[in-house]
Structure 1
């Protein structure tokens, strides 16, 4: 059963616009944006979200992290007024904070429904899996403010859909429906709105069946080879494969395969 997460860091004593729960039995933590109806993300909230992901990454009770929004919208984006009030130094940290899910060694799932705009879209792009409902609308609307995305959105999006579609989305502040996002490879899966939580739960259960060491290795390797030459990527893949061959989990996986049973992975 989920319970509120207890933080020891005084900077997380009072969470700004979101809540965090943990279910130790399911090895799952949920980070839930909770400033309805649009779950607008404040400047200070970005700093706290980074700290939360770093904390959960160090917590051995947590295997999988789910990022979601309360209500019918994931997030309509950032607090516009906050950009004018923030110092240049603070603004320079935006992309680093929002990239926290990508740096986290554990799998992170974004559950997106309704408006998923601006920083809401950007932090979702930093996650490993994006499960969206048919009501989801992705957008980077900064052009309407005379700005461009500032938290990695255009850069990550271009890696996924290419420069032509990214220009179409960014330069026109275009809204992308959930089904289109799935077809373009932005979303992992698009489901009926009523099935969003059920689909996320099923993905969590599926990921828990794998070796946590192999999961961490796969995520790190794929992130680090995203910009690499093919020869470099293949070399790193081989090195990581060799390292995992020495693990207890690999030995257990091979034995379970031959014995026709479910493996009992321990992360060693």
Structure 2
């Protein structure tokens, strides 16, 4: 992998528990959790993951970011002992680090198989799309340790599935299957485990077919208006729509539509 450009690049010289692969031809970057068998996420790894997402977000070779893992499990969660050893100031940054996929302008896909617990689930919830398999189990098990989710898990989940289902998952440390996650709207697809890579590839290629500037705008608009009153959300949507009308990509999209050809978007 070529060196990633980031002001804190010295922190990325030796990645802790994961690696990065960039396929410039497919405009894709993969962040691969690689601490088998359970891909436990260390405290230092959380800092590095944030920096990697920030670096990939400005990398012109990359259109889509994929978060995946090595082995049978996405992640069984964080390094529990690390919480007791970490300084309070460091712990206070956990949610900010794990929210990096949501802050990224580019679309981010989480490919989840096997255990997806604790911070593994929280990191996936911060992504734009989650693909599960028939082996996937999602859980926020912190209650079993006398704790609560601390990196945005309960907050994001409540926005997706409501307070009742979130209490059922959080307060009972309940595990839900990939199929149930699909039924509840947490995952966008649930496929046989052997098809996870193919399903992820297909979604990457689908997303690459759209205008980069339109996708960036849609993601930011949806994130920014999640808690907004309807009238404010509609107003902001209108402003975004108006700005995109002057883009080269919109002109190309309209011309391609009338010419019955595939558009060639440039992101401008």
TM-score, length basis structure 1? 0.98
Distance in 2 (CA, whole Å) between partners of 1:20 and 1:5 is: 10
Matched residue SS, 2:67: strand
Distance in 1 (CA, whole Å) between partners of 2:134 and 2:161 is: 20
Q: Which residue of 2 aligns with 1:61?
A: 61
Distance in 2 (CA, whole Å) between partners of 1:64 and 1:18 is: 18
Distance in 1 (CA, whole Å) between partners of 2:267 and 2:250 is: 10
**Unpaired runs of 5+ in structure 2?**
none
Aligned residues of 2:4 and 2:56 also touching (Cα < 8 A): no
Q: Which residue of 2 aligns with 1:80?
A: 80
Q: Which residue of 1 aligns with 2:134?
A: 134
Aligned residues of 1:5 and 1:20 also touching (Cα < 8 A): no
CA deviation vs aligned residue, 1:208-229 (integer Å, no higher than 9, x gap) = 1100000000000000000100
| Correspondent of 1:7 among 4, 9, 18 | 4
Aligned residues of 2:182 and 2:188 also touching (Cα < 8 A): yes
Q: Pairwise mapping of residues 114-125 of structure 1 onto structure 2 (< 5 A)?
A: 114-125=114-125
Distance in 1 (CA, whole Å) between partners of 2:31 and 2:135 is: 21
Matched residue SS, 1:109: strand
Q: Which residue of 2 aligns with 1:230?
A: 230
**Unpaired runs of 5+ in structure 1?**
none
Q: Which residue of 2 aligns with 1:182?
A: 182
User: Is it true that 1:36 corresponds to 2:36 in the alignment?
Assistant: yes
Matched residue SS, 2:162: helix
TM-score, length basis structure 2? 0.98
Distance in 1 (CA, whole Å) between partners of 2:155 and 2:59 is: 30
- Shift of residue 5, structure 1, vs aligned partner: 4.2
CA deviation vs aligned residue, 1:92-118 (integer Å, no higher than 9, x gap) = 000000000000000000000000000
Matched residue SS, 1:106: coil
How many pairs are equivalent?
Answer: 265
Distance in 2 (CA, whole Å) between partners of 1:257 and 1:70 is: 41
- Shift of residue 6, structure 1, vs aligned partner: 2.1
Distance in 1 (CA, whole Å) between partners of 2:194 and 2:3 is: 30
User: Is it true that 1:156 corresponds to 2:127 in the alignment?
Assistant: no
